[in-house]
Structure 1
Amino acid sequence: MKLFSALLVLVTACVLGRTNGANILGVFPINGRSHWVVYESLMKALAARGHNVTVITSFPQKSPVANFTDIDLSGVMPSPVSSLSIDMVRNVLSSVFSSQAFIADLQLKFCRESIKHPQVQALLKSDIKFDAVFTEIFGSDCDVGYAYHFKAPLLSVMSSSHLPWSYDRVAGPDNPSYIPTIVTRVAGKMDFKQRMINTFYYVYFKIAWKYYSEWPADEFLKENFGPNTPYINDILYNTSMVFVNGHFSLDGPRPLVPNMVEIGGVHLKPPGPIPKDILKFIEDSPNGVMLFTFGALIRASTIPKPVLQIFLDVFAKLPIRVLWKFEEDIPNKSDNLYISKWMPQRDILNHPKVRIFMSHGGQLGVHEAIHSGVPVIGIPFFFDQPRNILKLVSQGAGILLDYDLLSREYLSDAINTIITNSSYQTNAKKLSQRFKDRQLNATETAVYWTEYVIRHKGARHLRTAAVGMPWWKYYLVDVISFITIVIFAVLYVIYFILKTVYKKCTKKNVPKKKVKKN
C-alpha cells in the first residue's frame, strides 16, 4: 500500500509538472452521490480546460479522464445509495435540530477517515504545489486545513442553495427580515409570524454551527495539521470564492458579495438516450407519463404498506402512465405502472411526453425538472426539501403534499389538478426560460471565476471589509451606543440648562416678605 501511494504521488507530480494548466485540489470525501455529481461536474470541467485536477473522492472515475487524478476513498466510505428508510428520514432527519447535529458529525467523520488514508497522507507529505483548493460547505469545515497546508487559495462549493453558515466567511448579507433560511417554509415576502420563525432559525444556526461544527473542526485541524494551525475562522475568512448551487430565478433575488457566485444547475448535462424498454413505455402512452422518485438516498420500498397501497390505488386510476423508481417488484401492479430500481432521471424528464415529476424535493431533481419545464408534485421530508417545493408552488409550477396527510383523495386531486390545469405546464416553461437565460451557463460561470481567482492569486480584492468583523461592529452596536449616549447627554444638558433658567426666572418674580421691627 505504501509503495502504491508513493507511485500515485509520483504520477500526480509528473502530471502536474507536465502541463501548463493550474494545479487544483478538490477535497470531497463525502459519499453522498447527490453531492458528488455537483462537485464532479465542476472538477471535470476544470480538467477539460487543461488544468491538472486531483480529487479526494468516494466516487472514482470508471475510466481515465485527461488531467484528472483520483484519490479513491470508496473502499473506506462506500456510497449509501438507497440506504435510508422512510422511518429513519421522518423520525431523525425531519427535525431541523437533530439534522444539524447529524450532518456536522457526518462530515467530521469523513474528515477523520479520509485524512488517515495512505494516499492522502502521501499527498500531504509531498512537495506538490497547488494553485487552488476546493472544499465542500455542508456540515463542517474540517477540510479547509488542506488549503492552509498547501498555502493555496480556498474555494468552497455547496450542493444546495445558500446555507445559513456560508455567509460569514465572505460577509454576505443575510438579514432574516427578508432572506429566508434554507429550512424556513416560505417563499417570497414573509408575514410577522414567518419573520419570527425565520429569525429564530437564523439565530439557532449561528449558535449551532459554533457548537456542532466550528469548535470540533478547529480541534480536528490542530490535531492533524499541527498545533500552530490558525483558528479555523482565520482560514475561512481567507476564502477566495463561494459557489452556490442555486439561482435567483428559483431562490429569489438576494444581495450577494462579488465572491459568492450562483452556479445552480452546474450538474446538468445534455440529455442522453433513454433505455429502450422505458422509452417504449413512454412513447406508447397516449396521455403522457409521470416520473416518481424519492431520490438516491431514500429507499422507496420501505414505504409502509398502507401508504404504498394509497399510491398503487391512485396510480391505477390515472389517465397517464407512471414511471416509479422502486427497489423491489410489486405483484399485481396496474398496467400503467413501470417499476425499476434505477431511472435515468435527467434523460426521462427531457422527454416531451413527461407531464409531471413527483419527488421528495431534492435540489438536483428540482433543477432538472425546471430545466426541462416539467411541473413538480413534492412530498418533502427534511431540511431544504420543503422550501425547494414551496419555491415552485409560489411560481405556479408545483404542488406540495404533506406525507402525514396522504390519502387517496389528497394524492389523486394533486395529480389530476396538474393534468387538467394547463397553467402549471405554462408556468413551468416560463420558469425554465428564466432559469436558462444567463450570460454564461453554470459551468462556464464556475470555470471563469475559478480561473479569475487563480489569475489574481486568491483575488483578495473581492473580499469586503466586513469579513471577520465582530458582530457588534457589523451591526453597529458600538456606533448606535455612542450616538445614544450623545443624544442622552445633549438632552440632559438641555434639561439642566432649562431647569436652571426656570429656577432663576421664578426666583426673581417672587416678592420678598417685609421684616417687622420690634
Structure 2
Amino acid sequence: MVINYVSFLILSVLNLTACSNILSVCPTASYSHQESWLGIVPSLIKRGHNVTVITCNPEILEPHPNLHVINVNICYATLSKFESESNSFSIQNYMSPREFFPPVNDLLAKYIDETFSSEAVKNMLRSNDTKFDLLIYEGLHPGLLAFKYHYNVPSIVMFTTPLFGAVHFLMGNPVNPSYIPSFVTTFSDKMTFSERLMNTYYLLYEIYIRYYYTYPKMDAVMKKHFGNDIPSSRELEMDNSLLILSGDLSQSYPMPVQPNTINVGTLHIKPNKPLPKDLQNFMDNAKDGVIYFSLGSNKKISTLSEETRNAFVKAFEQFPKVKVLMKWESDIEFPNKPANVYLKKWLPQKDILAHKNIKLFITHGGHQSRQEAVHYGVPLISIPFFYDQEWNAKKSFEEEAGLIINFFEVTYDKVYHALKELLNNDKYKRNMERLSAISKDKAMANVETAIWWVEYVIRHKGAPHLRPAVQDLYWFQYTLLDIIAFISMLLFLFVYFIYFIVKKLLFSSLYKIKIKSQ
C-alpha cells in the first residue's frame, strides 16, 4: 500500500512536467553564445518536452520530432551591417566597456526587431494552436519578454556571460560594491579604497545603462510589434521566475544570491569527439606540446595588423619544437608562416583543448573559451578586446592560471616572455587543474542541474515562492535609508529636546542668580 502511494506521488510529479511546451529564444549573432545557450535543449527533448527554439545557428542542434526550430540567422547580416555603418562599434577592434555598452544596446534592439519581424515568428504568434508552458530567454535581450506577455507564461532568464550587476539587483541579489566586483572593471573581490570607489561608480553605471538605455530601446521594439499596452521590459523582467547563470566559483567570485538565482556551471561541454585525421596526427606527433591560438568565433586573427601578427610569428619561431595550431580565417596565405605553425579556417576547440599534448591556449578571453580552458585545465594567455573579456582575463591572472597581454601592447618581447613563462613554469598548469577540479565537483552534472530547475518552475506554475520580497522595495527602502532617516530624526529631536531643557534650566538658574544679585 505504501509503495503504491509513493509510486503514485512520483508519477504525479513527473506528469506535471512531462511533455511541456517550452519556448527558448536567443537571437545573439555569436556561435559561442548559441552553443552555450542551446546546451540544455537536447536534454529537455530527452525528458519528453516539446521545445521550440529561435536561434541564429540551427545547425548546432540535431533534428528531432520534439524540436521545432525557427532560424533567425539574418541577425548575422544585421551585425555585419551595424558594424559597417557604425563609427564606434566593431568586434574586430578593442573597445572599453564604456565604449561598448551604448552601441551594443542599439545592436541588441535590432536583433529582437529582426526576431519579431521574422515571418515564421509572426505565424507562430498568430496561431491559435500554439501554446507554451514556459519561456527561456537570453538575458541580454529583455525585450524578448514580449513572448512572456503574449503567451502569459512563466519565464526563466539565462546568461551565457558574466552577469550585469543591474540584473542581480533586479532579481533581489545583493550587489555590494565593497566586495562584489563589476565585470566592467578588472578588479578582484579584494579591492583597495580607490578600487572600491571605482567599482561603486561602475556598478551604478551598469544600473544606469540598464534602466535608462537598455529598457527604453527594448520597449520601443516591443511596442512596435505588440502595441502600446504591453508592459515595460523592466516590469516583465521583475516577474522572472528564475535566473540561471552559466558559471561557478572556478570562473567568478563568491557572492550571496537569492533562491531565484542558480549557478549551474558550464553548459555546452559534451563528450569529446575524435579529431579529424590531420589534426590528430599533428597533435599526437607534437611531443614537446602544442600552443593553440584562436580569438573566438567573432574576432578574426586575420584582421590583426601585420605588426601584431609578426610579433606572434617571431615569438613562435623561438620555440621550434613546440607546435602551434592557429585559427586563420582568411583565404589569403599567411605571410612568413613558421614551420611549426599549422593553420586552419575552423578548429574543433573543445576537442583540441582535451588533447594530452596541449600546453597553453592564446585566447581573446571570452566566457565560453575560458570555461573550456578551465574544464580541460589549460593555462591561458589572454588578449581581451571588449565586453567581459578583460574581467575574465583578470580572473585567470588572479588565480595564477594565465597571463594577460594588453591589445595595444602586443610586441615580440611581451609575447615571447609570456610564452616562455607559461611553457616553463608548471604553476599555471597546476592552478588551472585546481580550477578544473572545482568546476567539475558538483552534486549533479551542470546540464542536469539546469534541467531540474527548469522543470521545478514548470511543476510549481512559475514558482512564485522563490521571489524575494526585496524585489518590491524601492531602492531607499532596500538600503534602509528611510529607517536611517527616521532614526536620525528621532535622535535629532532627542538631542534638541535635551538642548532645549538644558537651555531652559540654565537660563532659569542664571535669571535667579541675577535677581538675587540685585
Provide TM-score, normalisation by structure 2. 0.91
Structure 1, 480-489 or 456-465: larger mean CA deviation: 480-489
> Please, which of 133, 136, 139 is the counterpart of residue 138 of structure 2?
136
**What SS does the corresponding residue of 1:251 show, helix, strand or coil?**
coil
Shift of 1:20: 4.3
1:93-132 residue pairs with structure 2 within 5 A?
Answer: 94-127=95-128, 128-132=130-134
Select 2:372's aligned residue among 368, 373, 380: 368
Instruction: Indicate the residue corresponding to 1:34 in structure 2.
Output: 32
Q: Which residue of 2 aligns with 1:199?
A: 200
Assess if the C-alpha contact under 8 Å between 1:80 and 1:297 holds in 2.
no
Residue deviations 1:49-105 (CA, integer Å, cap 9, x gap): 111000112222475224111012225645969x989x9658965122231112211
Amino acid at match of 1:55: V
Deviations 1:126-171 (A, max 9, x none): 2322110011111x41110101110100111111022223213311
Following TM superposition, by how much is the alpha carbon of 1:180 offset from its aligned partner in structure 2, in angstroms?
0.8
Cα distance 1:200–1:159, how it changes in 2: closer, same or farther (>3 A)?
same
Question: Match of 1:154?
Answer: 155
CA distance in 2, matches of 1:263, 1:397: 22
Contact map agreement 1:359 1:377 (CA 8 A) in 2: yes
CA change 1:360–1:75 in 2 (3 A) is: closer
Counterpart residue type for residue 133 of structure 2 = D
The aligned residue for residue 70 of structure 2 is 71
- Answer whether contact 1:52 1:67 (CA < 8 A) is retained: yes
Residue-by-residue CA offset, 1:31-61 (whole Å, 9 max, x unaligned):
2111111111122221121110001122224
Q: Which runs of no fewer than 5 residues in structure 1 stay unpaired?
A: 1-18
Matched position secondary structure for 2:52: strand
How far, CA to CA, are the matches of 2:370 and 2:83 in structure 1? 20
Task: Report the alpha carbon displacement of residue 232 of structure 1 after superposing the two structures with TM.
Answer: 2.5
The equivalent residue for 2:417 is: 413
Task: Give me the whole-angstrom Cα distance separating, in 1, the residues matched to 2:363 and 2:155.
Answer: 34
Measure how far apart 1:190 and its partner are: 0.7
3-state SS, counterpart of residue 179 of structure 2: coil
Q: Which residue is 1:424 aligned to?
A: 428
Alpha-carbon distance, 1:384 to partner: 0.8
Q: Shift of residue 468 of structure 1?
A: 3.5
Judge conservation of contact 2:105–2:217 (CA < 8 Å) in 1: no
Identity of aligned residues (%): 33
* Aligned equivalent of 2:56: 58
Match for 1:501: what amino acid? L
Over the residues paired in the alignment, what is the CA RMSD in angstroms?
2.1
1:207-261: per-residue Cα shift (whole Å, max 9, x none)? 1222321122223223322322223322111100111121122201101111111
Quick check: 1:44 aligned with 2:56? no
* Residue identity in the other structure for 2:138: E
Which residues in structure 2 correspond to 1:87-486 (within 5 Å)?
89=90, 94-127=95-128, 128-138=130-140, 140-318=141-319, 319-328=321-330, 329-486=333-490
Equivalent AA in structure 2 for residue 171 of structure 1: G
Distance in 1, matches of 2:83 and 2:308, equals: 17
Secondary structure in 2 matching 1:71? strand
* Gaps in structure 2 of 5+ consecutive residues: 1-16
- 1:279-321 deviations in whole A, cap 9, x for unaligned? 1111111211110101110121111111111111110111411
Q: Secondary structure at the match of 1:491?
A: helix
Q: Distance in 2 between matches of 1:250 and 1:126?
A: 42
TM-score normalised over the length of structure 1: 0.91
Q: Aligned-pair distance for 1:512?
A: 3.3
1:495 alignment counterpart: 499
The question of whether the paired residues in 2 share the 8 Å contact of 1:92 and 1:99 is answered with no
1: distance between equivalents of 2:381 and 2:206?
Answer: 29
CA-to-aligned-CA distance 1:448-484 (integer Å, 9 cap, x gap): 1000000000000001001142212111121111111
Match of residue 512 from structure 1: 516
Counterpart code for 1:25: L
Q: Which piece of structure 1 moves more, 218-227 or 331-340?
A: 218-227
For residue 102 of structure 1, what is the amino acid of its counterpart?
A: P
Matched AA of 1:226: G
